[in-house]
Amino acid sequence: MTLSPRYLPALLLIGCMTARAEDITELDYPREEELAGGTLRIHHPVIEVWEGFRTVEGWVPIEVRPAGSRDFLVGALRARASTRIDLERRLVRLSNQEVLEVRFSSTPVPPAARELAAQAVRNRPHTVLLDALLRSLAEDFEMPPQARTPAILGHAPPRIEVVDRPTRLMLIDKLPVAAPITGTGLEFVVNTDWQLFHEPRTGRWYVLNEGTWQTHTLLATGGWTTTTELPADFRNLALGDQWTAVRDALPARQPAREPPPFIVSLEPAELIVIDGAPRLEAAGHPALKYVANTERDLFEFEGRWYFLAAGRWFEGPALDGPWHPVSQLPGTFAAIPEDHPRAHVRAAVPGTIESLLAIMEATLPRRHAVGAQAAARLEVGYVGPPRFEPIAGTALERAVNSPNYVFRHNNFYYLCEGAAWFLAADPAGPWSPAHSVPAELYRIPATDPAYFVTFVAPAIEPDEDDGRAWFEYNSGYLGEYSTGVTVVHGTGWYYTPWLWHDPRGFPVYWSHPYTYGWHLTGPGPYSHRFYYHGGYWGARSITLASEPVGLSGPPDPSFQDPRLARRGHDYSTIDEQRQAAYGASLSADDDYYTDREGNVYRRQDDQWSRHTGSGWSTMEQLERQYGGSSRGSIGAVGAAPQQQQAYKQDPEDIARMQRYYESRRRSYNMYGHVYVGR
């Protein structure tokens, strides 16, 4: 798989940089410097390799004019640098920069020219923009192995409801789990994000819908009616943030207008709200239309409907289904223009620049450190004695009666918390950072709710020796996974939640990561933390072995779980100020490029030229001059005369340069997070 550069100004290994605030370097290409030995002109680099996201390597087109010379010599240097990514701030630290090779198209090359070329890379650390690095990737950049290995994910469609008027969706995780409210005759449902109550005495349900109380005797059949009569027990709800919205809506009042109806679903579901009949408008191809009067990503193509949810495409013959996963999306979707109202779906269209960059971003590592003292304060809760059950296809066991992800292997216990691994000899701890973990942990299948932990690994930081343990994770830990061609949200598999009732009838409940409907969180007291419920603990009616860390928050800021802290957005764009700063550093006149052999090309007056020993020649001129039927190296250093005569330009070389040229000139709509569908 290849990746084309998409956005923003470039950087990489060169020393022709100017310092910005916060010690961030900024580039301006082409850059010309007057040095003691002559003039050095550096063009936009082309990154071809990013090994393990720790080392970048590529070609940099250069021009040098030694002191006393009249003309510039055109060439390229191959350089390498170590990288350290700060993905949250979208920065990269470059160090250990070195020149691997210098190549000129003219011969002979004066030693002074090589000395000038070597000064293009200065071995001092720089902090640079991640987006600039991504912008410098070669058109045929080879994806790292971890970005090319798709997981075995689920792609079965959820329940898809299409309506033509404002409607809301109430998701309940299977059957409602009702918890008694102490001091009242009411119960509230803990496995939904809505303020949903039940009165066992009458069998009636009550829900707070946009500030209006509605009631029904049947939960999932529709037909809810507005009421101004509530059980007196509502006035007895205890004080606390949990019931603020409820108390603000008391006493029940007749609304000025009826709230929108809602659909109750006891299974994963997606809701498409269309404002009336579908209004189809063009989407970049005469046969491809999108529904303009809905916020969802809904398209029509050749008589079939296509819907994007959680990064997955579903198709059906009609809006009421049946819906099926798309095995191969029509290539027409790649024709959606980049400035189209639905351009963001290009990130979910296989083969587009946006989808390949999304895969790249989803694979980029985040690194952080954990100290032993902080780890020792970790506490893990269990409902009763710890109970472990086997994980299919592995030699592992997982604690099933704990909200924490604890694993047993060879009589040792491993905890994944806050994107870090911890080790203990007892399931209750004490815990210490795990500098290594069993390889068996990375065999956990996607069908297991703990699959996301396979994207966390101990890391080695050679520049850090303060006794802390370093860990590395990527977007898989956050619920975003590469399929090999796009990035999707969630595994697509349903995981049964944990449910247990104490002798008094109070439930203990928590759920695992889920895929669909996660953007439709409701106003309830147990709103989603990222993409799973926080859980309910029986109003502290039972005694756990210790307070679950995942309930009230980690005991130390260093353990803030990024899955909990993540914003609930499909994607986010960089701010305008940042875009403006990036745009100012990119020159539209820098049309120098290199191929994988270090040959330098230039685009001028809509034509491509290649620099040879005799200067710039267009492709047609080279064909006429040298003839022949084989690809040759024209004027390369050390080439024998007979080797320089045959020339046949590979059309793919020019197509590659053209794609790179178009990518470099595109607008700067870099996604701060990969798009995974709404």
Comparing C-alpha atoms, which of 34, 71, 30, 12 is closest to residue 611?
Answer: 71
Q: At residue 510, does pLDDT exceed 80? A: yes
Q: HSE of 153 in the Cβ direction (CA atoms, 13 Å)?
A: 27
Read off the pLDDT of each residue in 316-333 and give the average, rounded to a whole number: 96
Q: 552: how many CB neighbours lie within 10 A of its CB? A: 10
Q: At residue 238, does pLDDT exceed 70? A: yes
567 vs 604 pLDDT, higher one: 604
Read off the pLDDT of each residue in 307-313 and give the average, rounded to a whole number: 96
DSSP 444: -
pLDDT given for residue 254 in this prediction = 94
Q: At residue 528, does pLDDT exceed 70? A: no
Comparing C-alpha atoms, which of 47, 46, 59, 36 is closest to residue 119?
Answer: 36
Average pLDDT for the chain: 78
Q: At residue 9, does pLDDT exceed 60? A: no
Q: pLDDT for 395-447, tens place per residue?
A: 999 999 998 999 999 999 999 999 999 999 999 999 999 999 999 999 999 99
Q: At residue 546, does pLDDT exceed 60? A: no
Cβ atoms 305, 318 nearer than 8 A: yes
Those residues whose C-beta lies under 8 Å from the C-beta of residue 605, and which sit 6 or more positions away, are: none
Q: pLDDT for 168-201, tens place per residue?
A: 999 998 889 998 988 899 999 988 889 999 999 9
pLDDT given for residue 620 in this prediction = 72
Cβ atoms 198, 233 nearer than 8 A: no
Strands 262-265 and 168-171: parallel
pLDDT given for residue 617 in this prediction = 81
pLDDT given for residue 147 in this prediction = 66
Read off the pLDDT of each residue in 580-593 and give the average, rounded to a whole number: 46
pLDDT given for residue 154 in this prediction = 93
Q: pLDDT for 18-41, tens place per residue?
A: 334 446 666 567 888 888 889 999
249 vs 572 pLDDT, higher one: 249
Q: pLDDT for 588-608, tens place per residue?
A: 445 788 888 888 888 877 778
Q: How far apart are CA 411 and CA 481, in angstroms?
A: 31
Read off the pLDDT of each residue in 637-662 and give the average, rounded to a whole number: 51
DSSP 484: S
Long-range (24+ apart) CB contacts under 8 A made by 500-503 are 500/383, 500/401, 502/538, 502/541, 502/542
Read off the pLDDT of each residue in 117-136 and give the average, rounded to a whole number: 81
Cβ atoms 610, 619 nearer than 8 A: yes
Q: What percent of the chain has pLDDT over 70?
A: 74
pLDDT given for residue 288 in this prediction = 98
pLDDT grade, residue 207 (50/70/90)? very high
pLDDT given for residue 268 in this prediction = 92
Q: At residue 674, does pLDDT exceed 60? A: no
pLDDT grade, residue 663 (50/70/90)? low
Q: How far apart are CA 63 and CA 523, in angstroms?
A: 61
Token readout for 655 is 């197509």
Highest mean pLDDT among 327-341, 497-511, 576-590: 327-341
Token readout for 284 is 């970049």
Residues constituting the chain = 678
Q: How far apart are CA 2 and CA 356, in angstroms?
A: 8
Full DSSP string of 383-436: SSS--EEEPTTSS-EEESSSSSEEEEETTEEEEEETTEEEEESSTT---EE-S-
Comparing C-alpha atoms, which of 196, 201, 199 is closest to residue 213?
Answer: 196
Total-model pTM: 0.79
Q: At residue 508, does pLDDT exceed 60? A: yes
Cβ atoms 530, 564 nearer than 8 A: yes
pLDDT given for residue 292 in this prediction = 97
